[in-house]
Structure 1
């Protein structure tokens, strides 16, 4: 027993009033092991409570647990520092001095971290949401403290600083949990029966499993173009992730119906007049 006590009291580092013994290392290990076990239990409990409520979006528990993790680890770090006999005010002064020297270099980092905390607390963006950033659409796979991870339709993973999500124009296609309106445009030849065109466009989305009937699809006669009469079919759908597939299916159907009913889709035409000068 005395031998074990000697091992635990053995000082690995000794600088002035500060010393680090084997017992200190063991204490640090016990603290962080206990924190890890505690967080595992908290995570399981929160996920169970949220799933029991029903209607909870995927990733909600993960966001809450992540916030708790940051808080607990910070508190555990302070407890560990205090248990080692280190004056916390000295640590604070050190980081204050370091902050002055690296303020500009770390400004962007702190902005991203604060933005991550805002996202996790406000929950305007959650795991599973579909975002559009710089004309790229991606599914939110993970929200970290500094960055968020999105997976595009092409299977590419994008890592985006959280400050961009907070400060820049970002479209959240799934924020309202409801249908979103999209459109498909088409031009038909001059002289076509416009009422027939309207009927066929509406028929192209009739009974489509991904198109909402409330609100109902609607057709607009948008303009008289240079080479065509311009129509727009607007429809509502909850299918935002694979919307390009849905639009493609609608265009195939429109093309089929137009062919069956002799409705022409014209291509741009230009009349060229050649003036020949006759020598007198």
Structure 2
């Protein structure tokens, strides 16, 4: 077989019609052309994001979430243009393609309902930006930092450094707590009980000193010490402070708790434990044991009323 015959064979192989999309015949050559065009546009998108957009956005001093949104939207726009160009190059009529996709969407709409919902939710997240990369969020029982926002899902890194893939629809249809949204400052309330025998002014001053000595507590808004009420065993006090970084919330709370314990011990302020008084009102068998000098202990079991009578009469005789 000559070289010319090999070329002719390969030409027939690549130009052989595999199937039709609408009125357009598709061969191996057209499919490869479609893939090559998509790869080229994908490489173009990566180049634009890494070489052009990121340095330009960094010079504008935009936050990380804003830069991520711009680069992600640019990526999807370039890919969309690439798909349209690829269809045009292989000769596919886009109007006919829209009709075909319309019929297919009716047939498989139920199967792709969740995927479509997550896709639209992803566009909403990128456009409205209720959450951004780097935000500390709580979704259901999941709390962590947003590391990636894609069209279908969002990646949240938990406080245990575990990456959790959350569908975008959960961020749109469910209640989401964003600790970093707009104003990242968060308030920490620490409740503590102090003994009624403590000096109230000393307690107030000690709690204020704890707040001012913590380097992560903000001076504005100013820390507050509140007397909430009178508990069963203690005054109920509350130390209220503000911090700038919500991700430091558990650490700062722990530091303040430890500082309160040390400060109270230094100032002689007692943190009491709950105390209860037990009053027995119904007659119950109560063991009675009476010891007299020179005799063995006489013990028995009498009810509460008998013990009371013995205490008023017989006990007087025994004591003589």
Q: Could you state the TM-score of these two structures normalised by the residue count of structure 1?
A: 0.89
Q: What is aligned with 1:120?
A: 126
Distance 2:141 2:201 in 1: 35
Query: How far did 1:178 drift?
Result: 4.3
Distance 1:69 1:12 in 2: 34
Q: What is aligned with 1:58?
A: 64
Gaps of at least 5 residues in structure 2 are 284-303, 310-320
Distance 2:213 2:11 in 1: 76
Contact 2:33–2:90, Cα closer than 8 Å, also in 1: no
Equivalent residues in 2 for 1:139-150, closer than 5 Å: 139-150=145-156
Deviation string 1:219-251 (CA, Å, 9 cap, x unpaired) is: 111121222211111111112112111111111
Q: What is aligned with 1:225?
A: 231
Distance 1:78 1:53 in 2: 32
Q: What is aligned with 1:278?
A: 305
Contact 1:11–1:19, Cα closer than 8 Å, also in 2: no
- Partner of residue 133 from structure 1, selected from 126, 136, 139: 139
2:246 maps to 1:240: yes
Contact 1:12–1:19, Cα closer than 8 Å, also in 2: no
Distance 2:128 2:246 in 1: 23
After TM superposition, where is structure 1 displaced by more than 4 Å over at least 4 residues in a row? 1-6
Distance 1:33 1:154 in 2: 37
User: Which moves more between the two structures, 237-246 or 90-99?
Assistant: 90-99
Higher RCO structure, 1 or 2 (CA under 8 Å, sep 6+): 1
Q: Could you state the TM-score of these two structures normalised by the residue count of structure 2?
A: 0.79
User: Which moves more between the two structures, 93-102 or 164-173?
Assistant: 93-102
Q: What is aligned with 1:47?
A: 54
Contact 1:147–1:160, Cα closer than 8 Å, also in 2: yes
Equivalent residues in 2 for 1:256-271, closer than 5 Å: 256-271=262-277
In structure 2, the CA distance between the partners of 1:33 and 1:157, relative to structure 1 (3 Å rule), is closer
Q: What is aligned with 1:216?
A: 222
Equivalent residues in 2 for 1:1-280, closer than 5 Å: 7-8=10-11, 10-15=14-19, 18-44=24-50, 45-54=52-61, 56-275=62-281, 276=283, 277-278=304-305
Distance 1:49 1:120 in 2: 20
Contact 2:73–2:126, Cα closer than 8 Å, also in 1: yes
Distance 1:4 1:34 in 2: 26
Secondary structure, in 3 states, of the residue corresponding to 2:189?
strand
What's the C-alpha RMSD, in Å, of the aligned pairs? 2.4
User: Which moves more between the two structures, 57-66 or 152-161?
Assistant: 57-66
Query: How far did 1:35 drift?
Result: 0.5
Deviation string 1:174-219 (CA, Å, 9 cap, x unpaired) is: 1124422211111111232222111111111223221111111111
